[in-house]
Amino acid sequence: MPIRAFLFDLDGVIVDTAIYHYQAWKRLANELGFDISEEFNEKLKGVSRTDSLDLILAHGNLSLPDEEKTSLASQKNQWYLDLVSRMTPEDVLPGVASFFAQVRKTTRSEGPLLTGLGSVSKNAPLILERIGLADLFDVIIDGNKISKGKPDPEVFTKGAAELGVNPDECVVFEDAVAGVEAGKRGGMFVVGLGSPDVLTQADLVAPSLEQLTVDQVFDQFELK
């Protein structure tokens, strides 16, 4: 089975917006009278806005009516947008440019290696615009196009379908536990970017795209 497409998560893989999500959620929790730690924040990575709010409220032992939850989610998003609107192309993570240069040079008999973005963030288009990467991907699947967040595989299976490739011809690049699970449940080869102790379900783990080459991914995929 050849590799036909690479599908990339956004937050934590292309750009580090996780810190801004954390700051905005922490501010919300503090206003509600409790705190969240960095360790707790790991559980929110790759998880949708509404599911994240539910996890945070459960953490603070709070149960609120739906209208109030909608207004809290919108308040958090406003704080988050204030932070991400200041981002620039300098915020793109180290290694992204060089990894994509390798991807562009990769040609095989099956044709060019296709690329897709698989992010559950509804703010993905704005972030890509801010960091100057709106035209980087052949297809973009974001939170506005899906109904189920990670660990459901929808964001990646939809990306494969829009690219016209099979799931087992795709490689997913993910930094979050929920995202690695989404890729595996979608039937894809998953490269975890982070710690092997955390991303235990991944087929291959590297600290970040900076420490990884396209050849290493191909070699490991073939060994599978």
Residues with a known catalytic role: 9, 11
Q: Does 115 bind ligand B16 (CB under 6 A)?
A: no
DSSP 3-state assignment of 61? Answer: coil
**Minimum CB distance to ligand B16 smaller for 3 or for 178:** 178
One of 5, 7, 28, 44 touching ligand B16 (CB under 6 A): 44
Task: Copy the structure tokens of residue 156.
Answer: 């990646």
**Cis amide linkage into residue 125, ω under 30° from 0:** no
What are the CA-CA distances from residue 223 to residues 96, 99, 199, 202 (Å)? Answer: 25, 21, 19, 14
**Minimum CB distance to ligand B16 smaller for 32 or for 218:** 32
**Minimum CB distance to ligand B16 smaller for 132 or for 143:** 143
70-76, Cβ contacts within 8 angstroms, sequence gap of 24 or more:
72/28, 72/32, 73/49, 75/28, 76/24, 76/25, 76/27, 76/28, 76/49
Q: Does 176 bind Mg ion (CB under 5 A)?
A: yes
Residues 152-181, mask of contacts with ligand B16 (x by CB under 6 A):
------------------------x-----
Question: Which residues bind to Mg ion, rule: CB under 5 A?
Answer: 9, 11-12, 46, 175-176
Question: Which residues bind to ligand B16, rule: CB under 6 A?
Answer: 9-12, 21, 44-49, 52, 77, 119-123, 143, 176
